[in-house]
Amino acid sequence: MKYRDLQIQTQREAPNNARTEGFSFLVRAGYLTRENLPTKLGELSLDHLRNIGDKALSALSVIGNEKETFFPIASGDLDIAHCPSCKYTERLELARFQKTTMSQEELSPIEKISTPDCNTIEALANLLNIPKEKTAKALMYTRLSDGKFIFIVVRGDMQASEAKLKAQVGDIRTATAEEIVNVGAAAGYASAIGLKEALIVVDDLIPTSQNLVAGANEAGYHLKNTNYGRDYPAEVVADVVQAKEGDACIQCGNPLSVLSAVILKGEARVPARVMLRPYEENILLALAESHHDEKGLTLPHPAAPFDVYLMHVPGKELDTRAQAEEIYGELQNAGVSVLFDDRDERAGVKFNDADLIGCPIRVTVGEKGLKEGMVELKPRKVKENQLAKVDEIVEKIKSNLN
Ligand SMILES: [Zn+2]
Measured in angstroms, how far is the CA atom of residue 255 from the centroid of ligand 1? 7
pLDDT at 268: 63
Alpha-carbon distance 302 to 290, whole Å? 15
Q: What mean pLDDT comes out for the span 299-317?
A: 95
Q: At residue 246, what is the residue type?
A: G
141 and 173 Cβ atoms separated by less than 8 Å: yes
- Whole-number mean pLDDT of the chain? 94
Q: What angle do CA 85, 86, 87 make, to 5 degrees?
A: 100
Q: How far is CA 221 from CA 3, 103, 124, 132, 313, in A?
A: 73, 26, 10, 17, 83
Q: What mean pLDDT comes out for the span 122-144?
A: 96
Measured in angstroms, how far is the CA atom of residue 80 from the centroid of ligand 1? 14
Measured in angstroms, how far is the CA atom of residue 250 from the centroid of ligand 1? 6
Alpha-carbon distance 371 to 374, whole Å? 7
Measured in angstroms, how far is the CA atom of residue 256 from the centroid of ligand 1? 7
Measured in angstroms, how far is the CA atom of residue 8 from the centroid of ligand 1? 46
Which of 193, 262, 273, 275 is closest to 234 using CA atoms?
193
Measured in angstroms, how far is the CA atom of residue 64 from the centroid of ligand 1? 13
pLDDT at 17: 83
Measured in angstroms, how far is the CA atom of residue 88 from the centroid of ligand 1? 5
Which residue stretches of 198-319 are H helix? 279-290
pLDDT at 41: 97
pLDDT at 129: 96
Is residue 276 pLDDT above 70, yes or no? Answer: no
- 17 bridge partner residues: none
Q: How far is CA 381 from CA 35, 169, 204, 343, 377, in A?
A: 29, 53, 54, 24, 12
Measured in angstroms, how far is the CA atom of residue 263 from the centroid of ligand 1? 21
pLDDT at 274: 56
Which of 326, 361, 324 is closest to 344 using CA atoms?
324
Is residue 144 pLDDT above 80, yes or no? Answer: yes
Measured in angstroms, how far is the CA atom of residue 89 from the centroid of ligand 1? 9
Residue 200: which pLDDT band, with cuts at 50, 70 and 90?
very high
Is residue 119 pLDDT above 90, yes or no? Answer: no
Measured in angstroms, how far is the CA atom of residue 257 from the centroid of ligand 1? 10
What's the start-to-end Cα distance of the chain, in Å? 22
Which of 330, 342, 318 is closest to 398 using CA atoms?
330
Alpha-carbon distance 77 to 60, whole Å? 18
Q: What mean pLDDT comes out for the span 107-130?
A: 94
pLDDT at 103: 85
Measured in angstroms, how far is the CA atom of residue 68 from the centroid of ligand 1? 17
296 and 355 Cβ atoms separated by less than 8 Å: yes
CA atoms within 13 A on the CB side of 297: 34
Is residue 35 classed as helix, strand or coil in its secondary structure?
A: coil
CA atoms within 13 A on the CB side of 325: 7
Residue 267: which pLDDT band, with cuts at 50, 70 and 90?
confident
Across 7-21, 64-78, 258-272, least confident range: 258-272
Q: What angle do CA 27, 31, 33 make, to 5 degrees?
A: 50
pLDDT at 360: 97
Residues 207-253 pLDDT 10s: 999 999 999 999 999 999 999 999 999 999 999 999 999 999 999 99
Measured in angstroms, how far is the CA atom of residue 81 from the centroid of ligand 1? 10
Which of 366, 301, 369, 365 is closest to 336 using CA atoms?
301
Measured in angstroms, how far is the CA atom of residue 83 from the centroid of ligand 1? 5
Is residue 271 pLDDT above 60, yes or no? Answer: no
pLDDT at 255: 98
Measured in angstroms, how far is the CA atom of residue 97 from the centroid of ligand 1? 9
Measured in angstroms, how far is the CA atom of residue 236 from the centroid of ligand 1? 27
Measured in angstroms, how far is the CA atom of residue 82 from the centroid of ligand 1? 8
Q: What number of other Cβ atoms are within 10 A of residue 146's Cβ?
A: 8
240 and 203 Cβ atoms separated by less than 8 Å: yes
Q: What mean pLDDT comes out for the span 39-47?
A: 96
Q: Which residues contact 71 (CB under 8 A, 6 or more apart)?
A: 60, 61, 62, 63, 261, 262, 264, 282, 283, 285, 286, 289
Main-chain dihedrals φ then ψ at residue 81, nearest 5 degrees: -95, 130
- pTM comes to 0.87
Measured in angstroms, how far is the CA atom of residue 102 from the centroid of ligand 1? 22
Is residue 270 pLDDT above 60, yes or no? Answer: no
Q: What angle do CA 72, 90, 277 make, to 5 degrees?
A: 55
